[in-house]
Amino acid sequence: MLARLKRDIDAVFERDPAARSILEVLLCYPGLHALLLHRAAHFLHRKKLIVLPRIISHISRFLTGIEIHPGAKFGESVFIDHGMGVVIGETTEIGDRVTIYQGVTLGGTSTSRKKRHPTIRNNVVIGTGAHVLGPVEVGEGARVGAGSVVLHSIPPGATVVGIPGRVVFHRGKKITPVDLNHQDLPDPVAQMFDSLQNQIDELRILTDNFAGKGDYSKDELRDTAEKGETK
């Protein structure tokens, strides 16, 4: 138990530069408190107790703002940063070295008593306010952008952004175990509009030249056509 606690504390120091001392982490990090209380609740849940684990979970939510069902399964070195508003459902499975930011929901989409919550593999980062819903799988090393809504499984090493979540692959790029950079997440909707705007500009150039109103040379027009940027 002490070895696991040490790994939890090491995870905080690894992923939060604001952490200064072990005492600070033990006393002032609600994500760590929620994990410790959850382990007690999960132990009792596995013993087929019903009410007491839920009471511990309820107390944990009151103290930390993080709601974790006693049935959820956690791996090693999970880090819940700040954590206010995090909700993790009963059949959720979370792997090792996962990072979860505030406002995240790992929820279900069914009322049946079966696997109905997500499975989060190792080294995943789930951004602020993201929602992963249903019995989907988030592959190892994947990143879920802030505010995204994930309704389908995500392949390993992928990045998801948007509503609903759209996958952007990082082909040929090494995914580091902990990648917390959210500012470089792509926006597929903005990229689509940029592409449409470029096509409109190119069509305007062609139209102006054919109408004799443009100031573009034949060479410029021919170069544009040869590049295949317009049709």
Evaluate if residue 67 carries a pLDDT over 90.
yes
- Give per-residue pLDDT as tens, 183-222: 555 666 666 677 787 778 777 777 776 666 555 555 555 5
- Give per-residue pLDDT as tens, 141-175: 899 988 899 999 998 988 888 888 777 665 545 44
Q: What is the mean pLDDT of the chain?
A: 83
Tokens standing for 23? 């005492």
Query: Which distant-in-sequence residues (6+ apart) come within 8 Å of 223 by Cβ?
Result: none
- Enter the pTM of the model: 0.72
Predicted local confidence at residue 231, as pLDDT: 44
- Give per-residue pLDDT as tens, 38-65: 999 999 999 999 899 999 999 999 999 9
